[in-house]
Amino acid sequence: MNRTPGGGGDRLELAMEVLELVAQHRTGISANDLASALDIPRSSMYRVLNTLVRQEFLVRRPDLTGFILGVRVVELARHVTGRRTGRHDVILARLRQDTAGAIHLVRFVGDRLELMDEDPLHPISDMRGFLASSERSAAGQLLLLERIEQGLSVPPSAGALADATRARGYAQQVGLLSADRACMAVPVHAGPRRVGAIAFADAPSAISAAARHVPRLRSAAEEVAALWVEHAGPPARAPLE
């Protein structure tokens, strides 16, 4: 039987439960799934979600598949953990400020991408496509190049993408995930190997001019690589980092 939130205390408790569930689903969770998990009528859930979005505790995914944590939660987490120089969240926050663009950090796990840090203000436009097809994202194209150079299996069409990435010195895609988004990515290295990537996303019309940010992206990638080496490899994602 559905429970219906009553007074202010009940609504606050429900909001905290919603935030906890969203934090557990880093790539997003839908309003219907939240309502079902918390045994709340959808109308009540939407009222809570609209309030949390309005207050920037949650952000709607651009592909409308659900909600992710917003910038205010990220800021609270940083206040709790401290802004220690060398943490990848601090590195990415500075990069986001310097470039005024969407910045995402991924690591390579076998033949797939794992999202380490998604820009809280500019979520990935098509999360399913991003995770399902390496050829459709700039970060994924870096993964394909690494796998080719390691002699591992890749889709037949990956060769041309790898050649273009190798010649350019960074990966780039325009409109492959979403018609109104383009992306470039530079690798995060562990020695000679590419183990992850920092990606920058913008409108297709702006992506050529955004190449001026490549040196900043590479500098940040070197900082992240040093951090990962310090921790003996890419760290597991913390719930609120």
So what's the architecture of 84-230 in CATH? 2-Layer Sandwich (3.30)
Whole-structure pTM value: 0.66
Is the fold of 8-72 the same as that of 84-230?
A: no
Give me the CATH topology for the region 8-72.
Arc Repressor Mutant, subunit A (1.10.10)
* Structure tokens given for 42: 């959808």
Q: Where are the domains positioned within the chain?
A: 8-72, 84-230
pLDDT in tens, the chain (241 residues): 566 665 555 788 999 999 999 888 866 789 999 999 999 999 999 999 999 999 888 888 766 778 887 777 766 765 554 444 346 888 898 898 788 889 999 999 999 999 999 888 788 888 888 888 899 999 999 999 999 999 998 988 898 989 999 999 999 999 998 888 899 999 999 999 999 999 999 889 888 888 999 999 999 999 999 988 876 555 544 333 3
Cross-strand pairs, 10: none
Q: Which amino acid is at 71?
A: V
- In terms of phi and psi (left: phi > 0; alpha: psi -120 to 50; beta: otherwise), the region of 200 is beta
Q: Please tell me what DSSP assigns to residue 208.
A: T
Output the CA–CA distances (angstroms, integers) from residue 200 to 64, 80, 108, 139, 212, in the order listed: 21, 27, 17, 10, 11
What whole-number distance in Å separates Cα of residue 195 and Cα of residue 189? 6
Bridge partners of 58, per DSSP, are 69
